[in-house]
A = this chain, B = another copy of it.
Amino acid sequence: MIKPQPTIALDTMGGDHGPEPIAMGGIEAARRFGIRVTLVGPHSQLTHFVDVAGGAPPTLSIVAAEEWIAMDEEPVQAARRKKEASINVGLGLVRSGEADAFVSAGSTGAVMAASLFSLGRLRGCDRPAIAAFLPHRQGGVLLIDVGANVECRPQHLLQFAHMGSAYLERVMGRKEPRVGLLSVGEESTKGTDTVQEAHRLLTRSPLNFIGNVEGKDLPSGMVDVVVTDGFTGNVVLKAAEGIAGYVVSELKHSLKSRLDYKLAGKYLAPGLRKAWRSLDYTAYGGAPLLGVNGIVIICHGRSSATAITRAVEVAGDAASRGLLTHVQETLRS
């Protein structure tokens, strides 16, 4: 299953800013890294973007899909009905073996539903889950699930831990990832009944389980994979984005409050921008949907071209390092 030169099917539709930044990000990934990228979307627009970008790199191709699924459509119905939508066309390329991974910045619900219909689940995975990085100075923490399953049983949380750990170890190269269970206190008796039972299952698992972790531990560098249900994970991920953005805007505001601060602030701007980039959660290369029988990377709807380039690169790494085989192995262990 490990291919040296994987092909990435990139859905160019459904993003907040239209197909342009997504197509441009894909073209850049093909040009800069020589990744085989198949842009999926409206043919005439995509050829136009390729022209604007100075022509197609040798590893770039286009597959037409004139339909798409909008953010406000009921995702399960739309994924089932719209066979010609870019999400279904792109996933079809993965199912047929023409592509090794699928990347989309479209409706998360539609990508999840269509992935289940097209690819099915891996054996041993009851509930696919979305894993997202929260960056910090030591490289970031993988939070799983951030929205696929708003309600979870203890067994699901155990499976998330296995899948997140395999992803971090095999794709991101982090040795024996430390797995934490998100709760309201360190003690194993803290949290809901589901969390307490998941703690028991994780303790008996072969994973490097370090016990419960709290919200404050997320950016601490003490844990690599944080397991939680998709409701809590989604709320925390979005709160982290909102609060990081707020803190930075507050500091900017403070620096502008006096003329002398303003001048010094301008002087410091490059340093502040660098720090801010390391905190810009939308710049990270998408979040893998783990547990489906294929590599699927979900990007933020407002992803920039740079974020898409990074996501295509991550998808390529996941394919060439055999993510599916590793996740399947850990689920069976």
Contacts and interface: CB of A to CB of B under 8 A. Distances in A.
Interface of A: 136-137, 147, 150-151, 182-184, 191-193, 195, 214-220, 228, 230-232, 234-248, 250-251, 253-255, 257-258, 260-261, 264-265, 267-268, 271-272, 274-275, 278-279
B150 A191 contact: yes
Nearest to A221: B246
Contact of A247 (B183, B192, B232, B244): B244
Contacts of A257: 271
B261 A231 contact: no
Contact of A254 (B235, B253, B275): B275
Contacts of A228: 235
A246 to B, nearest CB: 4
Indicate the member of A232, A235, A272 with the most B CB atoms within 10 Å. Answer: A235
Contact of A250 (B191, B218, B264, B279): B279
A219 B150 CA distance: 23
Contact of A192 (B231, B261, B264, B274): B231
A254 B240 contact: no
A274 B253 contact: no
A242 B244 CA distance: 10
Contacts of A230: 184
Nearest to A256: B271
Contacts of A244: 243, 247
B215 A253 contact: no
A279 B248 CA distance: 11
A224 to B, nearest CB: 16
A150 B195 CA distance: 10
Given A184-B230, A215-B241, A247-B247, 9 more contacts: A136-B246, A137-B250, A215-B239, A215-B242, A216-B242, A235-B236, A236-B236, A240-B243, A261-B271
Return the 7 tightest CB-CB contacts between A and B, nearest first: A215-B239, A215-B238, A216-B242, A219-B246, A254-B275, A184-B234, A247-B247
A63 to B, nearest CB: 30
Contacts of A191: 150, 231
A264 B137 CA distance: 22
Contact of A251 (B150, B193, B218, B272): B272
Nearest to A220: B242
13 contacts: A147-B184, A150-B184, A183-B235, A184-B231, A184-B235, A192-B231, A214-B238, A216-B239, A239-B240, A239-B243, A247-B247, A254-B272, A260-B267
A216 B241 contact: yes
Q: Which of A184, A243, A261, A279 has the most chain B CB atoms closer than 10 A to its own CB?
A: A243
Contacts of A238: 214-216
